[in-house]
Amino acid sequence: MLFRQLFDPTSSSYSYLLADEQTRRALLIDPVLDQVERDAKLVEELGLTLVYTLETHAHADHITGCARLRSRLGSQAVVGAKMGVHGADRELRDGEVLELDGLALEARATPGHTAGCVSYVTADTGDVFTGDALLIRGCGRTDFQQGDAATLYRSIHERIFTLPDATRVWPAHDYRGFTMSTVGEEKRHNLRLGAGRSEADFIEIMAELHLSLPRHIDVALPANMQCGVTVADLAAGRIAAIERGWAKIERTEEGVPEVSPTWLVRHGRGVRVIDVRDPDELDGPLGAFAGAELVPYPTLEDAARDWDREQPLVLVCRSGGRSGRAAVILENEGFKRVASMRGGLLALDEATD
């Protein structure tokens, strides 16, 4: 597993990039809007395809970068089912496992800091990404966003402290220069939640904190309840691409959703590619797009009746005409992530010359 811990100094936030080293497909936990350029560049430098961004909770001190990243890189925004976030591509229930090639993360509900907090536990590498629920020698506050001290105490003791002591703890924040811990360390040395503290002790500790609200809560929280879509996104007209959530979509004047040949070359492994040409065209000079399935245009509607309407689909043909009409047909049939490759295989051939 490829692993990178990334830091945003303004909000003292950690993000985590994980990737399968063979397929180079990746996910990013708790991205920060102000670090989107850094993160996108790192993904490109490492030769990765960002498939998912995951949120541990709706942050109040910074805006998530998931909406901007999915607009730019075609990643899907993943949240916990009880976060109440709008516009996500996938919601994980408690105990549900997100799989990405050689990676598997179990979503464990760990409410208390907020009502919708989720921690992610790796299946076989001994890691837990705890968000703000459990910090190194501390924890997240419990005085807003439906937080509750008793609930957080039980979440940590029942959902995290029951993991093996050697499990590495990767929090969403640190303010004292620590980068990671272990479950065993926190059970021994966390003066709020470990070291023999009772639930009553913890409730008293949290009640006496009297913290001021995060400085950016009035901006960050509304945006994060919309997957990080900001007023600036709306003003700049980026919302159409963000709402689609899986690719950098551009629409023609006729309303055809399109992706560029370059985008499909970069992200083709993460989508289902359908070639709508006639069978005899495969023997022509343009050949076929690698991995594409042949479904001739006249047979498409019948063939698509049993297809998954949530699965990303890109349609290709010689010049983009048939694939564009096919994309509109499938959208009208309820397919939510569908596009035509702009200019067809002719444009792809020119782009790769």
pLDDT tens across 124-153, in order?
A: 889 999 999 999 999 999 998 899 999 999
- Among 227, 121, 114, 228, smallest CA distance to 167 is for 121
pLDDT digit string (tens) for 106-126? 999 999 999 999 999 998 889
Q: What is the mean pLDDT of residues 33-41?
A: 95
Q: What is the pLDDT of residue 79?
A: 96
**Which range among 85-94, 172-181, 303-312, 326-335 has the greatest average pLDDT?**
172-181
The residues near 79 (Cβ < 8 Å, ≥ 6 apart) are 54, 55, 85, 88, 90, 91, 92, 116, 118, 227
Q: What is the pLDDT of residue 5?
A: 98
Structure tokens at 48: 């990765």
Specify the 3-state DSSP secondary structure of 187.
helix
pLDDT at 86 over 90: no
Q: What CA–CA distances, in Å, run from 98 to 27, 55, 81, 105, 108?
A: 10, 13, 13, 5, 11
pLDDT at 154 over 60: yes
* pLDDT level of residue 163 (50, 70, 90 thresholds): very high
Structure tokens at 39: 């993160």
* pLDDT level of residue 251 (50, 70, 90 thresholds): confident
**Residue 254, class by beta-carbon neighbours within 10 Å (0-12 exposed, 13-18 middle, 19+ buried)?**
exposed
The residues near 262 (Cβ < 8 Å, ≥ 6 apart) are 351
Residues 267, 50: Cα–Cα separation, whole Å: 9
- Pseudo-torsion of CA 230, 233, 236, 238, nearest 10°? -160
Number of other CB atoms surrounding residue 238 within 10 Å: 17
Strand partners, 168: 127, 182
Residues 230, 130: Cα–Cα separation, whole Å: 26
* pLDDT level of residue 244 (50, 70, 90 thresholds): very low
pLDDT digit string (tens) for 42-74? 999 999 999 999 999 999 999 999 988 988 888
Please answer whether residues 35 and 76 qualify as being in contact, where contact means their C-beta atoms are separated by less than 8 angstroms.
Answer: no
Q: What is the pLDDT of residue 10?
A: 94
pLDDT at 231 over 90: no
Please answer whether residues 5 and 18 qualify as being in contact, where contact means their C-beta atoms are separated by less than 8 angstroms.
Answer: no
Q: What is the mean pLDDT of residues 2-10?
A: 97
Q: What domains sit in the chain, N to C, each tagged with a CATH number?
A: 2-236 (3.60.15.10), 247-351 (3.40.250.10)
- Among 335, 194, 340, smallest CA distance to 263 is for 340
pLDDT at 283 over 90: no
Residues 331, 251: Cα–Cα separation, whole Å: 13
What mean pLDDT, rounded, does the chain reach?
91
Please answer whether residues 276 and 297 qualify as being in contact, where contact means their C-beta atoms are separated by less than 8 angstroms.
Answer: yes
Q: What is the pLDDT of residue 249?
A: 80
Q: What is the pLDDT of residue 352?
A: 66
pLDDT at 204 over 60: yes
Q: Which residue has the higher pLDDT, 335 or 138?
A: 138
Q: What is the mean pLDDT of residues 252-264?
A: 86
DSSP state of 44: H
Q: Extract the runs of DSSP E, i.e. beta strands, from 124-177.
A: 127-131, 134-135, 138-139, 168-171
